[in-house]
């Protein structure tokens, strides 16, 4: 256990050191070509970082998501003076490193706080996640496969919410800046366009919009026109997202050849979103539309059903889901044991 913690700490310290280099050295280069060349070794480091963490599937996936995917895209944008890391005047070193390493977005000034329809926050999300993890750990073999997949869908949503919210609270405590929420209640989406564009995993959404959608739209607008270029940008964003998910899964199970099911999942949703946008444009300003209590459940059921079909099967075939559940259960038990130990120590101190 101590060796694993030491290994993970070394990897993350090396990555943080690389981000410091980008802020102190690369940011001084004003020409994009030279800035990109200067961060090339850092991009290589980010690509191999998850391979140095083989003992934990969860931490490997976390490092691949935070570092190899998001941080790489942020630094590529930064090379061209774009994205969350670029600003004038330059961001302070702590803010730069936090923005590069963690999946959050700075909240624009004078933005009103939006109240949630459901009371989901860390105080409710962590206990719900603990119950789901315990149920899967103890009773997965006795559960109906459909219930297992529903539990996996809920856990994916809750874990992203918890990780991003905890990152946000850490940064808010250290830097004192207001941050955007990780998502906007995606279970209330009335369409796939709303789900992927305005509600689900907003940090990834903003990065893909700047790193993929924008460049593709600008590159193709002259040849195919603005509207078609925008649709090509949307589809390209889904394709890139699918490929990045395939890469994350490969880091967790490096000996497994890609099945491309995850890529198919995102390509399917990209095609559906493009079709939805086209239908909405064809209908124009007609006010008739299906009510939310029809489109909302249809949207959620489509997302969950296609994830049952394409997203989770490759994970379950390799047993990566079992490893992650076991690791999360072990971490929870370790945390509870430590809390009990501290509680007993404090009680003995005052008696």
Residue 69 belongs to some domain of the structure: yes
The structure's pTM equals: 0.90
Residue 49 belongs to some domain of the structure: yes
Give the model confidence (pLDDT) of 286-338 as tens digits. Answer: 556 777 788 899 999 999 999 999 999 999 998 889 999 998 888 888 878 87
- H-helix segments, 253-319: 261-283, 292-306, 312-317
Judging by beta carbons within 10 Å of its beta carbon (0-12, 13-18, 19+), is residue 166 exposed, middle or buried?
Answer: middle
Q: Please state the domain count of the chain.
A: 1
Give the model confidence (pLDDT) of 194-231 as tens digits. Answer: 999 989 988 899 999 999 999 999 999 888 888 899 99
Residue 3 belongs to some domain of the structure: yes
Residue 204 belongs to some domain of the structure: no
Tell me how far apart the alpha carbons of residues 218 and 230 are, in angstroms, rounded to a whole number. Answer: 9
Q: Judge whether residue 170 has pLDDT over 80.
A: no
Tell me 255's DSSP state: T
Compute how many other C-beta atoms are within 10 angstroms of the C-beta atom of residue 75: 23
Tell me how far apart the alpha carbons of residues 29 and 38 are, in angstroms, rounded to a whole number. Answer: 9
Residue 44 belongs to some domain of the structure: yes
Give the model confidence (pLDDT) of 247-290 as tens digits. Answer: 999 999 887 888 899 999 999 999 999 999 888 887 765 556 77
* Residue range of the domain that includes 2: 1-101
Residue 123 belongs to some domain of the structure: no
Compute how many other C-beta atoms are within 10 angstroms of the C-beta atom of residue 170: 13
Residue 200 belongs to some domain of the structure: no
Residue 5 belongs to some domain of the structure: yes
């Amino acid at each position: 256990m101590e060796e694993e913690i030491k290994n993970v700490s070394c990897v993350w310290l090396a990555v943080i050191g690389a981000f410091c280099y980008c802020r102190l050295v690369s940011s001084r280069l004003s020409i994009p070509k030279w800035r990109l060349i200067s961060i090339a070794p850092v991009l290589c480091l980010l690509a191999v970082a998850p391979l140095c963490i083989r003992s934990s599937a969860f931490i490997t996936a976390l490092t691949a998501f935070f570092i190899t995917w998001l941080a790489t895209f942020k630094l590529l944008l930064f090379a061209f003076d774009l994205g969350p890391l670029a600003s004038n005047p330059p961001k302070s070193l702590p803010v730069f490193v936090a923005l590069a390493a963690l999946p959050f977005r700075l909240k624009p000034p004078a933005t009103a706080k939006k109240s949630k329809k459901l009371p989901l926050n860390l105080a409710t999300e962590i206990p719900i996640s603990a119950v789901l993890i315990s149920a899967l750990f103890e009773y997965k073999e006795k559960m109906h496969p459909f219930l297992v997949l529903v539990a996996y869908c809920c856990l994916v949503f809750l874990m992203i919410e918890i990780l991003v919210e905890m990152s946000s609270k850490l940064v808010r405590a250290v830097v004192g800046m207001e941050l955007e929420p990780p998502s906007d209640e995606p279970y209330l989406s009335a369409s796939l366009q709303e789900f992927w564009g305005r509600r689900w995993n907003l940090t990834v959404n903003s990065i893909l919009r700047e790193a993929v959608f924008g460049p593709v739209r600008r590159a193709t607008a002259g040849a195919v026109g603005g509207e078609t270029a925008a649709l090509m940008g949307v589809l390209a964003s889904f394709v890139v997202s699918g490929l990045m998910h395939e890469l994350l899964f490969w880091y967790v199970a490096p000996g497994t050849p890609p099945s491309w099911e995850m890529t198919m999942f995102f390509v399917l949703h990209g095609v559906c979103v493009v079709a939805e946008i086209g239908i909405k444009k064809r209908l124009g300003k007609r006010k008739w539309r299906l009510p939310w209590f029809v489109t909302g459940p249809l949207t959620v059921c489509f997302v969950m059903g296609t994830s049952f079909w394409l997203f989770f099967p490759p994970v379950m075939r390799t047993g990566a889901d079992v490893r992650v559940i076991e690791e999360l259960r072990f971490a929870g038990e370790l945390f509870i044991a430590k809390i009990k130990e501290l509680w007993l120590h404090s009680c003995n101190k005052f008696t």
